[in-house]
């Protein structure tokens, strides 16, 4: 496979009349405003229609899995923030869950509630960026400014909670770093009151806008069987009509105590599993997240927020695989301990990784401009692919 770069590959084919057509090889990225990070596509196109779009990744590879083997169990938590810096809470949470499972640590109830509240706020944080930048990629700039404005309030809430606005380093093995600050819960509720109305406004502004719908409906249809075969997860999987959510079907933390629904794609604007379904699932999930946060703030018990965990943490030898529902879906952590102060191996399987691997399959016969919509609808975040 020639991935060398800018050369124009000329493939000559003759039909009966002797007309010669040329396939164009285009290089999209690595620096491209719609690629949500640094990634590259090698597009073979016949005019405006793509014959293939082959992703080339690795530009953001930082060997995070190798770093895990060098820095020890506690020391790795800030690095997990960088796995997916658009939804860092989930990476904190996944690593903590894996370490706790290996060492058999029971997390205090209050800490679990703090985690769920932080996770769901982070889901809003991530989905806002996803749907906002999706509208922008398609050519509507105003919705992006709306989404970023709401996200700014969330940043303030996170800053008050843990001191950081993006890479949170909030969770610890055995619990969370800090309890909810005084008066913070009221601020979250005030934000939710405002934000739930904003979701409706957002739907009026863009979701059912005719041009927006036309750009997404029936584009890059992924069937349920294909989605499972490529291990698509989260909103990408549910967009294809598969009602599966780790929070519901393989529950962890305190999710069994909380009441919420799992929205799935219905093909309401076109075919089930098209780009619009993946988009609208995220919009509906944000409403559910608000519902979860309200319940969690009501039910949160008093008590400690971290279990006793030795500073020199050495979980017994063994391996475990934990999963949690991140903003981009089922995120898997395979962690091997050899009983020492350093993990033997940490493999992170992320939603964007499987999302990008299906692009070559779904991009055939799409227009070049649709590739941008497909990337956005799969909510690909490059650092999470490359780690």
Partner 1 sequence: MPLDAARIHARLAERFGDAVSAPAGQGRDAWLEVRPERIADVAVFLRDEPDLAFDCLSNLSGVDYPKQGHIQVVYHLFSYRHRHWIVLKVNALRDDPVVPTVSGVWSHANWQERECFDLLGVRFTGHPDLRRLLMPEDWPGHPLRKDFVEPQEYHGISTSRESLLKV
Q: How far is the CB of 229 from partner 1 (least distance, A)?
A: 5
Q: How far is CA 138 from CA 43, 131, 233, in A?
A: 19, 11, 23
Does position 349 interact with partner 1 (CB under 8 A)? The reply is yes
DSSP code per residue over 113-131: HHHHHHHHHHHHHHHHHHH
Cβ distance to partner 1 smaller for residue 23 or 250: 250
Q: Is residue 27 near partner 1 by the rule CB under 8 A?
A: no
Contact between 65 and partner 1 per CB under 8 A: yes
Q: Which of 291, 378, 270, 269 is nearest to 329 (CA)?
A: 378
- Among 85, 178, 184, 334, indicate the residue that binds partner 1 (CB under 8 A): 334
How many residues belong to the chain?
A: 387
Residue 64 or 157 with smaller CB distance to partner 1 = 64
If one asks whether residue 19 binds partner 1 (CB under 8 A), the answer comes out as no
231 touches partner 1 by CB under 8 A: yes
242: contact with partner 1 by CB under 8 A: yes
> Does 167 engage in binding with partner 1 (CB under 8 A)?
no
Three-state SS string over 63-117 comes to CHHHHHHHHCCHHHHHHHHCCCCCCHHHHHHHHHHHHHHHHCCCCCHHHHHHHHH
Q: Is 332 in the site for partner 1 (CB under 8 A)?
A: yes
Instruction: Annotate 267-316 with DSSP letters as a single string.
Output: -SSSSTTSHHHHHHHHHHHHHHHHHHHHHHHHHPPPS-SB----SS--PP
Instruction: Take residue 356 and report the two structure tokens written for it.
Output: 């990008």
Nearer to partner 1, 117 or 380 (CB): 380
Taking the least distance from each CB to partner 1, the nearer of 208 and 321 is 321
Q: Is the Cβ of residue 10 or residue 341 nearer to partner 1 in the bound state?
A: 341
What's the DSSP call for residue 203? I
Binding footprint of partner 1 on the chain (CB under 8 A): 1, 57-58, 61, 63, 65-66, 225-226, 228-231, 242, 244, 249, 318-321, 323, 330, 332, 334, 336, 344-345, 347, 349, 353-354, 356-358, 361, 386-387
């Amino acid at each position: 496979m020639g991935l060398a770069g800018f050369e124009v590959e000329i493939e000559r084919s003759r039909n009966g009349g002797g007309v010669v057509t040329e396939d164009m090889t285009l290089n999209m990225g690595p620096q491209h405003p719609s690629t949500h990070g640094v990634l590259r596509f090698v597009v073979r196109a016949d005019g405006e229609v793509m014959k293939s779009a082959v992703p080339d990744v690795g530009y953001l590879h930082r060997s995070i899995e190798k770093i895990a083997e060098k820095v020890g169990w506690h020391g790795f938590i800030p690095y997990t923030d960088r796995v997916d810096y658009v939804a860092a809470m989930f990476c904190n949470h996944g690593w903590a869950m894996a370490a706790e499972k290996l060492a058999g640590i029971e997390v205090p109830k209050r800490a679990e509630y703090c985690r769920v509240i932080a996770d769901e706020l982070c889901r809003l944080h991530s989905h806002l960026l996803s749907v906002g930048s999706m509208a922008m990629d398609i050519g509507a700039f105003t919705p992006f400014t709306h989404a970023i404005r709401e996200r700014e309030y969330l940043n303030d809430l996170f800053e008050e909670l843990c001191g950081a606005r993006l890479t949170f380093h909030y969770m610890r093995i055995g619990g969370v770093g800090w309890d909810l600050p005084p008066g913070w819960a009221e601020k979250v509720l005030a934000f939710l009151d405002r934000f739930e109305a904003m979701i409706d406004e957002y739907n009026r502004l863009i979701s059912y806008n005719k041009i927006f719908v036309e750009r997404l409906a029936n584009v890059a249809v992924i069937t349920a069987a294909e989605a499972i075969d490529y291990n698509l997860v989260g909103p990408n999987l549910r967009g294809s009509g598969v009602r599966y959510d780790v929070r519901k079907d393989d529950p962890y933390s305190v999710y069994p105590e909380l009441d919420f629904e799992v929205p799935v794609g219905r093909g309401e604007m076109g075919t089930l599993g098209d780009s619009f379904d993946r988009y609208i699932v995220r919009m509906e999930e944000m409403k559910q997240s608000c519902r979860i946060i309200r319940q969690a703030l009501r039910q949160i018990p008093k008590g400690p927020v971290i279990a006793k965990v030795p500073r020199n943490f050495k979980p017994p030898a063994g391996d475990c695989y934990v999963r949690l529902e991140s903003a981009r879906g089922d995120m898997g952590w395979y962690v091997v301990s050899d009983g020492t102060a350093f993990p033997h191996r940490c493999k992170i399987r992320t939603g964007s990784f499987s999302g990008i691997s299906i692009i070559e399959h779904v991009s055939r016969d799409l227009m070049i401009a649709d590739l941008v919509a497909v990337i956005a609808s799969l909510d690909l975040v490059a650092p999470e692919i490359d780690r």
